[in-house]
Amino acid sequence: MKKVRQSNFELLRIVAMFMVMMLHVNFLALGKPSVEDAGSAPLATFTRILFEVMSVGCVDLFVLISGWFGIKANRKSLFTFIFQVVFVFYGVSAVCLLYDHSNAIGGGKFIELVTCRSWFVQAYLGLYLLSPALNLMVEKSKNIHKWVLCGWLAFEFVYDFASPDPRLFDGGYSTLHFVALYLLARYVRLYGVHDFIRKNSGVLFLVVSLFVTCCMFMLIKTGHGLWHLNSYTSPFVIFLALMLLIKTDSIHIQNNMINRIGGASFAVYLFHTHPLVLGTFFLTWAKDIYSNYSGIVYLIIITGYMIAWYVVSILIDYIRQATWHVFYNKTYKFICKERIG
C-alpha cells in the first residue's frame, strides 16, 4: 500500500524551497548589505536582513523533515534519489550546451558538469548512507540518543559556530551538520518538546527572527560584519528551523495538489542551482529585477519570478517521473531479478 504524504509537511517543503530561492535572490544575487547601505537606506537594509534571517533555515528545514519521519534506506529509494539528480543535472546540462556551447564548457565549468557536483547532494547522500546506523542508535535508548545529540550539538557549537574559518562542520555545508539535525528532529518527534514551545512556536519564530535581524543590522551598521549569525550551524538558525517544523506539525491539512507540488521541491533546487543556470540566468535576472523595481512592486515581481522557476521545475520533474516509471518497470526490475536469480 502506497504511503500517503502529509500535506502539512509537503507545504513546508514548498515554503522551504521558496526560502532557498529567497536566499539566492537576496544576499547571493545582490551581496550582503554594507555600512553605507545601513546608513543611507536603513529600512530597505533592515527588510533585506529580515527576509534573509527568516529564510536561512531552509536547508536545515529539509534535513529536519527527513529526521522527523526518519530515513528508511533501501535500494529503490537510493536509486530514485540518484536518478533524479542525474536526470535533472545532465538534462539541464544538455540543454545549456545546445543553447551556448562556449559558455557551458568555459570558466572551469566543465569539471562541474562531468562530476555532477552539488554540496547538498553530497552531504545528504552521506546522511542517507549513515541513516541505518543512526536509526539503530536512536531505537536503542533515549539516554544514548539524548547524550549523543547534546554532545554533537555542543561539539558543533565550539568547533564551527564559535570558531574562525576554516570550521570543522564547514558552516553547515556537510554531512556532519546534517547528522546533528537528523538526530535533533528524531528526538523531538519521539519525545516532544515543552508545552510552552509547542504552543508558541510561531510566536517564537517571529520574536527570534526580529532579534537576530536587529543584531545583524547593528553589526553591519557598525562595520563588524555578520560573524556567523546567519550560518546554517548558528544556534539561532537551527532554532528558527525547528520552530517552523513544530508549528507545521500542529497544522492538519490534506491536499493532493500540495503533495504533488511538494514532491517536486528537490527538482527546483537541482534546476536553479545548476552551475550553468545559477549565475548565468537565475542570479542575473534577479539582479535586473532589483535594478529596475523597488518597494512593493519589487516584492510582487520577485515573488512571481520565483513562482515561475518553481513551475518550470515542476514540469521538468514530471518528465523525470515519467522517465523513471519506464526505467523502473523495464530496466531496474530486470536488473534486480537478474541479481536475485
Confidence of residue 299 (pLDDT cuts 50, 70, 90): very high
- Residues 6 or more apart from 174 whose CB is under 8 A from it? 123
pLDDT at 273: 93
Per the listing, cell 530486470 goes with 334
Please state the pTM of the whole predicted model: 0.91
CA distance linking residue 277 with residue 99, whole number of Å: 12
For residue range 273-282, list pLDDT tens digits in order: 998 899 889 9
Range with the poorest average pLDDT among 51-60, 110-119, 127-136: 110-119
More confident residue, 17 or 328: 17
CA distance linking residue 229 with residue 191, whole number of Å: 28
Distances (CA, A) of 24 to 135, 206, 278, 281, 282: 33, 21, 9, 12, 9
Whether residue 341 is predicted with pLDDT greater than 50 in this model: the reply is: no
Confidence of residue 332 (pLDDT cuts 50, 70, 90): low
pLDDT at 337: 58
CA distance linking residue 170 with residue 53, whole number of Å: 19
pLDDT at 113: 59
For residue range 261-271, list pLDDT tens digits in order: 999 999 999 99
C-alpha atoms less than 13 angstroms from C-alpha of 157 in its C-beta half-sphere: 10
Mean pLDDT of the chain: 89
Q: Residue ranges per domain, the chain?
A: 7-340
Which amino acid is located at 130 in the chain? L
